[in-house]
Amino acid sequence: MNKILFIVFLIPLIINAQTGSDELINPKELIHDLVVDLRYGTPDHKFLNLPNGDIQLPKFYTCNESLMLLQLAESLKLAQDSLRNIREYDGRIFPRGIGIKIWDAYRPRAVQYLLFEIFPNPTYVADPASGSMHNRGGAVDLTLVDLETGKELEMPTLFDDFSQKSAHTYNDLAPHVIANRKLLRDVMTNIAKLSIYSSEWWHYNLSGASSFPLRDFQMK
Ligand SMILES: [Zn+2]
């Protein structure tokens, strides 16, 4: 009896030790020069460009403050600390280094239902029934910027380009574009220790994120 009780009480401690905090934080608290441009909080997102007739889509977010699991924010801090020190890459000069721009991070599950209704293709939009890593705060969509000018480095596609051009294996691209995608991938996998998603060059997952809860509250 005592032994069973002991084990029952121990389980949450073991789970917590394995997965860490499930707290969601604003990554700007850790990364002061992070650029955040939550595209689903503006009318300027790819979902509006899909052939859905005259459907007027809402802004899916009410603010431009991103949230993510603490561990993911800590991983991105390592990446940004490394990128910020780059002064030259692929023959180009970056006087203040390179930085990260976030397009999406934590995404309320209700928004996942809306996105899936518009574009029910699970290669690009996770089925809300099982949920997206974004709904757990364990995924991030991002690109790189020149910290001097704020301009995005040229990548294979824009955000949410649901075509083969978004895949990591697509290489019918200018050499500097391939180099930019490689820099992002190298930093995210080697420094931040995140996992790629083969169909989308902009999407990275925190390993083990599937053990965190699906959530459904709107950012404020
Ligand atoms: Zn994503």
Q: Which two tokens stand for residue 109?
A: 């599950």
In a domain, 218, yes or no: no
In a domain, 219, yes or no: no
Q: What is the pLDDT of residue 135?
A: 98
Q: What is the pLDDT of residue 42?
A: 78
Distance 134 CA to ligand 1 centre (A): 7
Task: Give the pairing type, strands 98-104 and 35-36.
Answer: parallel
In a domain, 34, yes or no: yes
Per-residue pLDDT tens over the stretch 5-59: 555 555 444 444 445 789 999 999 999 999 999 988 877 666 655 555 444 456 7
In a domain, 179, yes or no: yes
In a domain, 51, yes or no: yes
Residue 143: strand pairing partners? 101
pLDDT digit string (tens) for the chain, length 220 residues: 455 555 555 544 444 444 578 999 999 999 999 999 998 887 766 665 555 544 445 678 888 999 999 999 999 999 999 999 999 999 999 999 999 999 999 999 999 998 898 889 999 999 999 999 999 999 999 999 999 999 999 999 999 888 999 999 999 999 999 999 999 999 999 999 999 999 999 999 999 999 999 999 988 8
Distance 54 CA to ligand 1 centre (A): 26
Distance 114 CA to ligand 1 centre (A): 15
SS3 content of the chain, % helix, strand, coil (to 5): 35, 15, 50
Domain of 110, CATH number, reads 3.30.1380.10
Q: What is the pLDDT of residue 21?
A: 87
Which residues constitute the domain of residue 44? 2-211
Report d(CA 141, CA 115) in Å as an integer: 15
Distance 11 CA to ligand 1 centre (A): 31
Distance 160 CA to ligand 1 centre (A): 9
Half-sphere exposure of 23 (CA within 13 A, CB side): 9
In a domain, 217, yes or no: no
In a domain, 216, yes or no: no
> 69 in helix, strand or coil?
strand
Report d(CA 77, CA 156) in Å as an integer: 24
What is the count of structural domains for the chain?
A: 1
| Helices (runs of H) and strands (runs of E) counted in the chain | 4, 9
Q: What is the pLDDT of residue 12?
A: 47
Distance 172 CA to ligand 1 centre (A): 23
Rounded to the nearest integer, the mean pLDDT of the chain is 88
Burial class (CB in 10 A: 0-12, 13-18, 19+), 210: middle
Distance 87 CA to ligand 1 centre (A): 28
Q: What is the pLDDT of residue 219?
A: 86
Distance 191 CA to ligand 1 centre (A): 19
> What sign does the CA torsion over 162, 163, 168, 174 have?
negative
In a domain, 33, yes or no: yes
pTM, entire model: 0.87
